[in-house]
Chains A and B, each alone.
Chain A
Amino acid sequence: MTENTSRLQRKLKRAAYLLIFGLAVEGITLHWAHPTSFLLFISLGGILVLAGIAIYLIAIVTT
């Protein structure tokens, strides 16, 4: 395995954890009609998902 591939997989792993956690938060908050759930959806779920996507995109472009 080349160093590039392992670096890519490391970044993908990081993106995967962020996305799984972010999507789980989004999924849970969807079943709760409360202002706090909306806030959690945006400020925690949304940010984690966006961070995961950003890491993924950076990883495939730069590696």
Chain B
Amino acid sequence: MANYAVATIILLSIILIGLLLVRPTITAAQGGKILAFIAFFIWPIVATVLGASIHLDNSKSTQFCLSCHVMEAHGKSLYIDDPTYVPAAHFQNNRIPKEQACFTCHTNYTMFGDVNGKIRGLQHIYVYYFKTIPNKLALYEPFKNRECLHCHANARSYEETTPHREMKEQLAANDMSCLTCHNKIHDVANIDKTKQWKGPVR
């Protein structure tokens, strides 16, 4: 919806600028000057600001993350037909929104992190096009429990489970990783050996 609104603003700007280009004498009148100010200044600024916001929003989508060929195996790992795999179980059971699956658990990654994260995001594009992509992809820093706890903290299923209760402070302080026990994650190295879920039955 927002895409269409911005596309309309862009189209109207182009038409108006084109009109002023063909008939520059319009700008001689007071009304023409105002029209030129809208076409040359107001609408392009609005289109650029809204467009950047749409792009940032798009970059949270699963489709965006998996649009690079190198992420294909990570995408497949969401369809592993085995409930012990943490990302697959979350994705297939709607514990995370399917359309923002990557971003929900990797909130500090590339575009969404600090300045370093954004610079890394640009480096990824550079490496993707001009360098050799490493065989094994890894996070820049260990996965933080914050990513799990922003949903699980205060949830009954988490709070009332014995191991969680015993280690609550360690987990909250990130002294012990959730992945120590919940260690079946993307497993991209063996992705071709896993059975794949075909998606919901329609």
Contact = CB atoms under 8 A, between A and B. Distances in A.
Are A and B a genuine interacting pair, yes or no? yes
Interface of A: 5, 8-9, 12-13, 15-17, 19-20, 22-24, 26-27, 29-31, 33-39, 41-42, 45-46, 49-50, 52-53, 56-57
Interface of B: 3, 6-7, 10-11, 13-14, 17-18, 20-21, 24, 27-28, 36, 40-41, 44-45, 47-48, 51-52, 54-55, 58-59, 61, 63-64, 67-68, 111, 121-122, 124-125, 128-129
Given A19-B13, A31-B3, A12 B41 contact: no
Contacts of A52: 40, 44
B40 A16 contact: yes
A7 B166 CA distance: 77
Given A13-B24, A52-B40, A34 B13 contact: no
Contacts of B36: 12, 56
Contact of A12 (B24, B54, B59, B67): B24
Contacts of B24: 9, 12-13
A35 B59 contact: yes
Contacts of A23: 10, 13-14, 17, 44, 47
A31 B63 CA distance: 13
B54 A30 contact: yes
A34 B70 CA distance: 13
Contact of B48 (A12, A37, A45): A45
A38 B55 contact: yes
B18 A26 contact: no
Given A19-B17, A19-B40, A36 B10 contact: no
Contacts of B128: 35
Nearest to B10: A27
